Structure 1
Amino acid sequence: MLTTLAGGLDLEIPKVRTGSFFPSLLERRRRIDQALYAVIMEAYVHGVSTRSVDDLVKALGGDSGISKSEVSRICAALNEPLTAFRTRPLDHVRFPYVYLDATCCKARVNHQIVSRAVVVATGITEDGNREVLGHGGGR
Structure 2
Amino acid sequence: MDDSNWYVRIKSLPRTRDGKFSPTLFERYQRNEKALLAYMLEMYISGVSTRKVSHIVEQLCGTSVSKSLLTAELDPMVKEWRDRSLSETDYPYIVTDVLYIKVREDNRVISKNCHIAIGINEYGYREIIGFLIQDGESGLTWSNFFEHLKNRDLKDTKLVISDSHKGLVSAIRESFTGVSWQRCQVHFMRNILSYVPKKDSKTLREAIKAIFHYTDIELARNAKNELIDKFSDNKRYEKACEILDDGFEDAFQYTVVAKGHSRLKSTNVIERLNQEVRRQEKVVRIFPNTESAIRLIGAVLMDIHEEWIGSNRRYIQF
**TM-score, normalising length from structure 2?**
0.26
Matched, 1:128 2:124: yes
Matched, 1:102 2:98: yes
**Structure 2 counterpart of 1:54, one-letter code:** T
Higher relative contact order (CA 8 A, sep 6+): 2
Max Rg structure:
2
Match of 2:48 among 42, 49, 52: 52
Q: How far apart are the structure 2 equivalents of 1:46 and 1:128?
A: 38
SS in structure 1 opposite 2:99? Answer: strand
- Once the two structures are TM-superposed, the CA of residue 100 in structure 1 deviates from its matched residue by 1.5
Q: How does 1:34-49 map to 2 (within 5 A)?
A: 41-45=38-42, 48-49=45-46
Matched, 1:115 2:116: no
Q: How far apart are the structure 1 equivalents of 2:78 and 2:42?
A: 12
Q: How far apart are the structure 1 equivalents of 2:76 and 2:54?
A: 28
**Structure 2 counterpart of 1:42, one-letter code:** Y
Q: Which residue of 2 aligns with 1:34?
A: none
SS in structure 1 opposite 2:45? Answer: coil
Does the CA-based 8 Å contact 2:40-2:53 persist in structure 1? no
SS in structure 2 opposite 1:72? Answer: helix
Q: 1:119 to 1:85 in 2, by over 3 A?
A: same
Q: How does 1:65-80 map to 2 (within 5 A)?
A: 70-80=66-76
**TM-score, normalising length from structure 1?**
0.52
Q: 1:59 to 1:70 in 2, by over 3 A?
A: closer
Match of 2:83 among 87, 92, 101: 87
**Structure 1 counterpart of 2:82, one-letter code:** R
Number of aligned residues: 97
Q: How far apart are the structure 2 equivalents of 1:52 and 1:116?
A: 25
Task: Give the share of equivalent positions with the same residue, in percent.
Answer: 24
**Between Structure 1 and Structure 2, which shows a larger proportion of strand residues?**
1
Q: Which residue of 2 aligns with 1:32?
A: none
Q: Which runs of 5+ in 1 are unaligned?
A: 1-28, 30-36, 63-68
Q: How far apart are the structure 1 equivalents of 2:107 and 2:50?
A: 19
- Once the two structures are TM-superposed, the CA of residue 119 in structure 1 deviates from its matched residue by 0.7
**Between Structure 1 and Structure 2, which shows a larger proportion of helix residues?**
2
- Once the two structures are TM-superposed, the CA of residue 105 in structure 1 deviates from its matched residue by 2.1
Q: 1:84 to 1:56 in 2, by over 3 A?
A: same
- Once the two structures are TM-superposed, the CA of residue 106 in structure 1 deviates from its matched residue by 2.6
